[in-house]
Amino acid sequence: MSRSSLLRALSLAALAVGTLSLTACGDAPAEGECQKLLTHFIGLEVKAADEADRAKFTESLQQDIGKGFLERCERNIKASQISCSLKASTKAEFEACDS
């Protein structure tokens, strides 16, 4: 994966957490939901990648994005937002789940 692709993906991951970041008090995600969200986000991100590069791209994103994502997700994202995001089939739908 090129450096620019990785930087773009990392910035999108930051946007995903930032877009969905609200205080999760009273609507905290269940155990494992943040991992599902991360996996789904990566799936949306690699959808557009060349087929030959998808496995490598997925692994790279998982390693680079996952480092702090799960902790931030568990603290800042509501379960209802995760549920909405997991239903998204495009990045635009994913980003719309902040309302």
Look up the domain containing 43 and give its range. 3-17+28-98
Is 89 contained in some domain?
yes
Is 36 contained in some domain?
yes
Is 23 contained in some domain?
no
Burial 54-86 (b: 16+ CB within 10 A, else e): eeebbebbeeebeeebbebbeebbbeebbbbbe
Is 91 contained in some domain?
yes
Residue 77 bridge partners (DSSP): 21
pLDDT of 18 reads: 54
Q: Give the residue carrying structure tokens 């609507």.
A: 27
pTM given for the model: 0.59
Q: Is 50 helix (H, G, I), strand (E, B) or coil?
A: coil
Q: Can you tell me the distance from the alpha carbon of 51 to that of 41, in angstroms, rounded to the nearest whole number?
A: 17
Question: How many domains, the chain?
Answer: 1
Predicted confidence (pLDDT) per residue in 55-96, tens digit: 888 888 888 787 788 888 888 888 999 999 999 998 888 888
Measured at the CA of 55, the angle between CA 3 and CA 88, to 5 degrees, comes to: 90
